[in-house]
Structure 1
């Protein structure tokens, strides 16, 4: 791959990457392998600890009986990192250490590994630690982590000076990436020092996706020579205040990008629904109240602001209850809570909290094999996804692909073909044409086209019973 970016330093944003050549939409600008990574404990038994790929048959480490691998090759490749960890896992067995403890211990083992390249260690140690800016909550997390680490790692692994360990903890928490599967669901956590130099924007020109443990950064907008390459560190379908709070808490800076100043877009994310005669238009905030409906002209007084605030708080509490129910694997309660708060809501379907409810309802309906309901909930998310995400965003592509698969299963082939094509157009930009997700979609699109052809042929035969006989006669005449 030709070099398209270079490192630079600025006074206001620190280090970052800028382009040295013009970058087109969909082009790969950076590919990185992890300094260290761990598989989420929730995925244990489903995925390989080394390559993180899903497989039905996994080989278990005969020593610690904890780590699992998809084949001997992965097991051997993991041994450099797993060798020291294996002893620690046996030491605390049958307890399962938290992912943060395993990630921290792997960093410590790597820093003491004399066979590790010095440049790799230097890259990690040069990352910002923000140790002097850690909040009381983060310091409490560090204290708890240190307590478990003392029980977990071998003597001599921890630095003699606690402040050195605090700096490593800061680098870990401020620079870790959630490693996601092809459907953008977190399956692990990794440290990618080279990619950590990418700065944040709520309106990014690049996106980060994964292929196994490989982190790939691709352009989702044309980037001119000398322009900075930026990604989003956080979920973009959230309000400006929520994004800023998350960025300040996790990364210790206040975002001032132009997307954070787009009041109209922020208001649309918090819109209510016009109930005048079934109008159903989105009503947005304006001057501490609500603007008149753009369709029917109905005026909303300031009393609605309090009603909406209460409704939003109720939905937020419901989302917390839904997460608790999911952890308890009570999927029936999840669906019940979703349906309860989606029914007769004053919030518009464009409202991001409604979108979250639609998403969760879709997920649980798929789990319950209620395919029609899952499709209906999924379709309600399509317009909000188009509005609130950039033109090319992996979440939109994945969502449209999921909808298309439901439509194919339910034989809505014309609609499935449209959503498959739209999903493929997005994901070939965000993931690349050779990614397993896009090649799978290309295959599905071909299958859908074939099924549509067969369906049309059957319909023509049904409309004209003599058509089949005429075709046979023509063939016999040719013979």
Structure 2
């Protein structure tokens, strides 16, 4: 059975949203898609596959960075496009390790540079998401500025100049999109599942 069609809508003063375009039954699957970008949080490293996010006692370790872990060779191969450039970045800052949001924004940048697309973008692309950066306090903006400087150091081995970044990507608002723990953004920041799954409320 096909999932119910979803549509975007704007809620004045509240931002963007999703809703079903037809009547649904409680518990019915509404939409399912892989997120554009995701990463395992630092506290989960070593116990979760970086591709499918399954918990497992024994995982294969990336022979280069020694950080990323996978269920098997298949998961490792499927994850390689997302891990290839970040692998060098992780190695370059040893023994330090980037904050979760820095690693996630790094992945977003590398994916945009590859011009890679994702089915979930049919609903909202990264550029559709609201950052609310202008509404943040100066203290929060300073915190995002610190993350942006940390990102610069983290990416240095792969990206040396701002001209190498994806066109139209503004780093501080991007951090605001992935660091604010509300609604859709929380899924991007701390995914516990590889899949976005929306169900109708009972």
Q: What are the within-5 Å matches in structure 2 for residues 90-169 of structure 1? A: 90-114=91-115, 116-117=116-117, 120=121, 123-153=125-155, 154-156=158-160, 158=162, 159=165, 164-169=170-175
1:170 equivalent among 169, 176, 199? 176
Q: Which has the higher helix share?
A: 1
CA contact (8 A) 1:59 1:69 kept: yes
Structure 1 partner of 2:57: 56
Distance 2:118 2:195 in 1: 21
Counterparts in 2 of 1:113 and 1:189: CA distance versus 1, 3 Å = same
In structure 2, C-alpha distance between the alignment counterparts of 1:96 and 1:126, rounded to whole Å: 30
* CA offsets 1:190-212 (integer angstroms, 9 cap, x no match): 4xxxxxxxxxxxxxxxxxxx6x3
SS of structure 2 residue aligned to 1:62: coil
Q: For the Cα contact (< 8 Å) 2:109–2:166, is it kept in 1?
A: no
RMSD: 2.8
Once the two structures are TM-superposed, the CA of residue 118 in structure 1 deviates from its matched residue by: 8.5
Helix, strand or coil at the partner of 1:6? strand
Distance 1:20 1:160 in 2: 34
Higher RCO (C-alpha 8 Å, min separation 6): 2
Contact 1:60 1:68 in 2 (8 A): yes
If you compute each CA radius of gyration, which structure gives the higher value, 1 or 2? 1
Render the CA deviation track for 1:37-83: whole Å, top value 9, x for unaligned: 11111111111112111111111111111111110111011101101
Partner Cα separation in structure 1 for residue 3 and residue 42 of structure 2: 38
Q: Per-residue deviation at 1:2?
A: 4.0
Cα 1:46/1:157, change in 2 over 3 Å = farther
- Equivalent pair of 1:84/1:109 in contact (CA under 8 Å): yes
Cα-to-partner distance string for 1:162-216 (whole Å, 9 max, x where unaligned): x92112122222452258xxxxxxxx724xxxxxxxxxxxxxxxxxxx6x31121
3-state SS in 2 of match to 1:39: coil
Q: Say if 2:178 and 2:186, in contact at 8 Å, map to a contact too.
A: no
Tell me by how many angstroms 1:18 deviates. 3.0
Structure 1 pair 25/3, CA: closer, same or farther in 2 (3 Å)?
closer
TM-score by length of 1: 0.37
Deviations 1:337-388 (A, max 9, x none): xxxxxxxxxxxxxxxxxxxxxxxxxxxxxxxxxxxxxxxxxxxxxxxxxxxx
Instruction: Classify 1:160/1:108 alpha carbon distance in 2 versus 1 (closer, same or farther; 3 Å).
Output: closer
Count of aligned pairs between the two proteins = 192
1:441-452 map, 5 Å = none
Residues 118 and 5 of structure 1: is their aligned pair in 2 closer, same or farther, counting only changes over 3 Å?
Answer: closer
Secondary structure of the residue that 1:30 maps to in structure 2? Answer: strand
**TM-score, normalised on structure 2?**
0.82
Q: CA deviation at 1:126?
A: 1.5
Equivalent residue for 2:76? Answer: 75
Structure 2 stretches lacking a partner, 5+ long: none
2:195 maps to which residue? Answer: 214
1:72 and 1:21 map into 2 onto residues whose CA distance is 42
Question: Aligned partners of 1:81, 1:156: CA distance in 2, in Å?
Answer: 19
